[in-house]
Structure 1
Amino acid sequence: MASAHIEHKLALLPDLPGSYQMKDINGKIIYVGKAKNLKNRVRSYFKSSHEGKVAKMVSEVADFDYIVTSSDKEAFLLEITLIQKWQPFYNIKLKKGTGYPYIKITNERDPKIELTGDVKKDGAYYFGPYPNVYAAQETIHFLEKVYPLRRCNGFQGRPCLYYHMGQCLGACWRTVPKEEYDKQITKIRSFLDGNTGRVKQELTKKMEDAAKKLEFERAAELRDQLHYIEATVEKQKIISNDKTQRDVFNFYMDKGWMSVQIFFIRQARLMKRESRLFAITTTANEEFETFIMQFYNRKNNVLPKEILVPAGLDNDVLAQVLGVPVRTPQRGEKRSLMDLAKKNAKIKLDEKFRLLELDNRTTVGAQEEIFKALGLPYGHVIEAFDHSHIQGTNPVSAMVQFVDGRAEKSNYRKYKLAEAEGNHSADEEANTREVIRRRFTRLLKEHKSMPDLILMDGGELEMNAVKDVLENELNLHIPVAGMVKNDKHRTARLLYGDLDQPIDLDPHSQGFYLLTRIQDEVHRFAITFHRQLRNKNSLASKLEMIQGVGPKTRTKLLRQFKTINHIKEASVEDIEKLGISKKVAQAIKVSLQAQ
């Protein structure tokens, strides 16, 4: 049942389009949505019965806010902007991109062709995604031979080697007319769009001419280029009668979970497929629309010429926002692709369901036990900190993050700390203050969301240092608990509250197992970082003892070879290639061999 505060706000909701933001008891935004009618949409959360993730989200809502827009399109755009800004827990979170390479023709006076994983709005042409790096690299090598642009670094007063090889138009020694580049780029774009017939004809004619002139090496090279087209570009089965670049989206939903499939159709072929699986908090069609918007609003997902989606979406608004046609096929090969995508989505969800349900009990349920033991409302994000040093030298700290009981390794952080003077306790307190100050000052500066609970590997000293920095320096109020080990160095209990009271968990419960995993993980991460730093410093100190090796030379060696053994195994010539004189390179080899 909604609180009186929420009931009053519900009565004031307008019958207008806009975006709404659900907040928890701490005022943190946990969900952002859009609506054609704010009053109907927001009221439905509190006036209807729900289950699964929707019910869980509604149970955490303590307040909400909304922003009215003048159209559905504006509501769409505002929703995506707010999701990317606040990263609410209950919204779908996408990876940064496909993770696949793209071929790029740069937007500059003397354009060149290159491989990139970083797609920008810079006016360049992007083609892909490609199934693997090797395939994309080989395609670039092929194009550089057949349709060269610029391969040199620019004007240098003389032709470069690539110009002599016929793989550069000559920006190295002349002003190449823009029309000459445009002509080549037109051919490259046509080839990358799947029109291989023209280039095959050209290569075949050149090969025959070379053979007639008895230029057999040249003829063999052209034959290999033809073979490349047949073996790589045309290898995959054609699945479309036209060569329009298109992305196909479809989904399957069951028990509050959505499984999404995306097919990338390029050069009339299925170049790559992506899958996504997540629980949703509103209607399937609305979540799916938001998913598509986020998919193209993040880096590394290039808009195709056409997007195909299932029936029931607001195609017109999607097309207005994305700027490309969004269509729902009714028959033919496009409809078959839609059906195939849905079939794959269902298979993916059916395969994962039992595993997901089991995993949910041992992760979310375990984290709920920890928060319940501390007397706190459920929180999704836990961050744990630990320090590592030997007698105060090379001090480091590490932070691990668990979200709903799962390690979020992409959010782990490690910190080099200043070496403190004094006794061990002073070191521990100084280290704690430094790492907490650095971590949470950065989160505040970047407007990032805060964790719901901080766990310190240690006792009252560390906890008090954390609370002092958070509350008195940064004006933050985040619960802090200490993870205490017994005399056998095993996880024993938590310390929490103003008086640092011991809190015991059932040693056979999932919550206790999770606490043990968190404590072991942050300790492992800190120790590993400390060892890496010590080994690096040890290596640096050995190199410092060699006459002629200064800081710059040491940095070059460390960057290239990583370890003493690798430097020992390297030849004098290998060391010289780093820009180190032969005399110093020989001294390095002799000195290290003697150690």
Structure 2
Amino acid sequence: MTKEENEKRLAYLKSIVSRLPEKPGSYQYYDDKHEIIYVGKAKNLKSRVSSYFHTEVDRFKTKVLVSKIWDISYTVVNTEEDALLLENSLIKKYNPRYNVLLKDGKTYPSICITNEYLPRIFKTRNINKKWGTYYGPYSHIGTMYAILELINDLYKPRKCRQPMTKEGIESGKYQVCLEYHIKNCYGPCVNKQSYEDYQKNIAQAREILKGNTRQILRDMKAEMMALAEDLRFEEAEELKKKFVALDSFVARSEVVSHTITDVDIFTITNDENTAFINYLHVSNGSINQSFTFEFKKRLAENEKELLQLGIVEMRERFKSNSKEIIVPFDPEMELEGVRFTIPKQGDKKTLLELSEMNGKQYKFDRLKQAEKLNPEQKQVRLMKELQEKLGLPKMPYQIECFDNSNISGTDAVAACVVFKKMKPSKKDYKHYNIKTVVGPDDYASMKEVVRRRYERLIEEQQPLPDLIVADGGKGQMEVIREVIQDELNINIPIAGLAKNDKHRTNELLYGFPPRTIQLKVESELFHVLTQLQDEVHRFAITFHRDKRSKHALHSELDDIHGIGPKTKELLLNKLKSVKRIKEADIQALTDVLGASKAQIIYDYFHTDKGLESKEREAK
């Protein structure tokens, strides 16, 4: 598109905006193919739409949307509520490219009660409203099965799929099936159960699915008393069993005072690209609906806009007519006859927190599911989290950690382990023999190793790490800083892992002077950092142990020039010890090795020539 064409397009759009009414309504944006790419709502159409064409608009995604608009249409309505409803219906109808994408619950099952003469009740993932009434969807499958099991136990609706009619039952067309014989059905197909009784059970099942269980309990109790007064004790006993079963189910699901009735609860949990809106419905003190919707952001929508959309969508989907909605903040919307409540304490606050917990858990579950399919996603998330916690200039792709190991200053060694993308990169591990430090001086040893490590990387022009983690507290961090910044004049962020009195790592330190970074010890990020610490301990101790082992196995035979491992092994096999080799005469040695090598060994232990050789070795 040329500059002249773009100016002509904007002039046309601004002429439409100038004619827009200052009334509530919904507006639609079209692309060059006259397809709807965005649907919005407004209290004031002119004010809202004109805001998109201000020169000071700085949101990148909004600028992209404006660059795609070629035409605008709008619909005026009477109230803001009507604008919300219209926006919601148009988004679902046209699924515009730049609107929030609702990932609805088509993958979750619902419970269906069919429209048949003898209705059936079953779970399904296929919604076809001409076949019956649907309750759900249920994001928690266990809850759905518990309700189905309760209904089957109480009312035993038929399980067979055979179409049944009144005429067929009256003419004796049908026969009972296995479900009747195993007492999972009362046999309405052969009039073992009356049509009226069957329909009464279905009606009560509908009320249970709606969450109106307390009214059913009251009706059951009244009927039970009436049967007892008429001395129909067996029927009263059967009804009592149903009453107890339903009452037990209600007791398990009750979470607040039963004085709270017919209330909706909405909360929102956000991340950069997605919003999770949880919906709870409470009736008679029991939660009878809980679901979390996932909204994919397209234009960096704020929480209020998303919550408004979620409230309209979910109340419509779940057919809620509640007159009170509990929310975490004012959504700045009006619904006729509805009161919004932001609780500060009490049972309603408990419900709000429960909704928030469900939303956060759903977000966590979705994240885990995505990370199973794409493990790198988890690594990037942890790198971003560490970057944010420490305020690093870039994500810490490469992290290095150092540790020393010695016993009373002997066989002193050090190790460096490397993590890349939060995973061990074992091919990059390095171990070092301490060369310049005498005695057990951990700080001096650390300085030597860090200096040697990064002088070499600089000399070889190898990439430097994005973060150095000191296996220790402030002291270790300081000696690393002295080498990195004061001596080598390079800038690498330095963190430290400090231990508590029980020698357990319990905090992450960063900065100079070091400050404690708030990080839960049970978090995934802290687990990765302690894994880094454990790995450098393991690598350093293993190298130190190997070095000690070699030192312990060293003998005087190793210092004799001209005597190799095979000769040494042969001598030890025949004479059993270095002491007996020292004491052996020339003939005994000759019998084992031959004259030439026997003379070398004998001279080493018994002559001045051997003494000179020992002195040279000592030097």
Bigger radius of gyration: 2
Relative contact order, higher structure (CA 8 A, sep 6+): 1
Q: Please, what TM-score do these two structures have when normalized by structure 1?
A: 0.45
